[in-house]
Structure formats: structure tokens, C-alpha cells
Structure 1
Amino acid sequence: MARSHGVYAISVVAEMVEMPAQNLRVYERHGLVEPARTDGGTRRYSRDDVDRLHRIRDLLAEGLNLAGIARVLALEEEVRRLRARLDA
């Protein structure tokens, strides 16, 4: 199964990342994480989403606000893309 395939319910992920489920909803509203949805609208988080939420938790612990976290995550993704291009 792909790391990007949504399989975990919000309650399970909240325990995995040691955050209240409400925080996960807030991060989704701010565009920091985008869980998949079932046909009925239930959130399904992937292993990649869980990793991203751990990164968000770490950045929060470092004192960044949500806007700062969004910028850091975007820059980290850009660096990954550029490195992949250089490797190709």
C-alpha cells in the first residue's frame, strides 16, 4: 500500500501524533494537511499525512505559528522537488 493512501481515521491519527482531533481539523482548514475523504466525507489520513503532522508538531514546539509552518512546509517541498530534478 502506498504511503499516500488514506487509511487512518482522525481518532487514530490524533493518538499517533499526540494531538487533539480538533487541532487536526484546524490544520486542515489552514491547508497544512489534506486528508483523503471517503464517499461519505470521512477523513482518511495516510502515512505521509502522519509524517507531516509530526513535522507540524515539531515546528509548533519550536515556536512557529501556523503561517510560518505553512511557509516552512512549502519551502521544504520546493527543496525536495529541486533535489529530485538535480538527481534526474
Structure 2
Amino acid sequence: MSRPENRFDDDDYPAYTMGRAAEMIGSTPAFLRALGEARLIEPLRSAGGHRRYSRYQLRLASRARELVDEGTPIEAACRIIILEDQLEEALRINEELRASDGHPQGSEPPAP
């Protein structure tokens, strides 16, 4: 089990309440609920049923707010962010493969 102080470094730890999360990204709780309805972010729930957000989720919500503020409909903003996130992951995997000469770590290239 991880030590409590390690949670401060965990981007996925649900540390922020809805009110604090909304304040941090400069939005309203209703905006965060709308992102949940659009399935961009799914906050974890506390034992009492309150929504809790992680830093990763807040980065996505902040990006959504930027796009919406520029006039992008919320559904389109969410789709854009999902695609951006998928592209970032694909680029990361590609870089890892290039760093290991195109072979997954721990495997050897096929014999000629």
C-alpha cells in the first residue's frame, strides 16, 4: 500500500472536491458535471458520495474550458481532448519503441 505522502505525486489520486476543482480551473460545478455527462472525466466518489477529482482530470477539464471559451461546443471539445490524449499516448509508445530499436523492452529482435 502506498504511503499517504506518495499520493501528492500521484496524478490520478482524487484529491480535489468539486468546489475546489471548479475554482482551480475557473469554472463552475455545473461545468464539471457537464464534462462528466459528456464522459470526458468520471470523478471518483467519496464514501459520502461526493465527487473527487484528480490532477489529471483537472488538466483535461482545464483544456475543455479553454476550448469552450473559444466557442467550441462542449461535446466537440470533449472529443478533441480525447483525440489529443490518444495521440499523446500513441506518440509516447512510438518513442519508447524507437528507443528500444523497435522492439518491446526485454525482447530480442528476430534472427535473420
The TM-score normalised by the length of structure 2 is 0.72
Q: Pick the aligned partner of 1:58 from 56, 61, 66.
A: 66
Q: Contact 2:35–2:78 (CA<8 Å) still a contact in 1?
A: no
Q: Pick the aligned partner of 2:41 from 24, 30, 33.
A: 33
Where does the alignment leave 5 or more consecutive residues of structure 1 unmatched?
A: none
| Larger Rg belongs to | 2
Q: After TM superposition, what 4+ stretches of structure 1 lie above 3 angstroms from structure 2?
A: none
Specify the code of the residue in structure 2 equivalent to 1:66.
I
Paired residues, number:
88
Specify the code of the residue in structure 1 equivalent to 2:32.
L
Secondary structure of 1:72's aligned partner: helix
Specify the code of the residue in structure 2 equivalent to 1:27.
L
Q: Residue 102 of structure 2 corresponds to which residue in structure 1?
A: none
Structure 2 distance, partners of 1:56, 1:71, is 10
Q: Deviations over 1:41-77 (max 9, x none)?
A: 2111111111111101101122110221122112101
Higher relative contact order (CA 8 A, sep 6+): 1
Secondary structure of 1:44's aligned partner: strand
State the identity as a percent: 28
How is 1:11-50 mapped onto 2 (pairs within 5 angstroms)?
11-50=19-58
Specify the code of the residue in structure 1 equivalent to 2:42.
E
Structure 1 distance, partners of 2:75, 2:21, is 22
- Cα offset, 1:40, TM superposition: 2.7
Q: Contact 2:40–2:82 (CA<8 Å) still a contact in 1?
A: no
Specify the code of the residue in structure 1 equivalent to 2:95.
D
Structure 2 distance, partners of 1:71, 1:20, is 20
Where does the alignment leave 5 or more consecutive residues of structure 2 unmatched?
A: 1-6, 97-112
Specify the code of the residue in structure 2 equivalent to 1:72.
I
Q: Residue 83 of structure 2 corresponds to which residue in structure 1?
A: 75
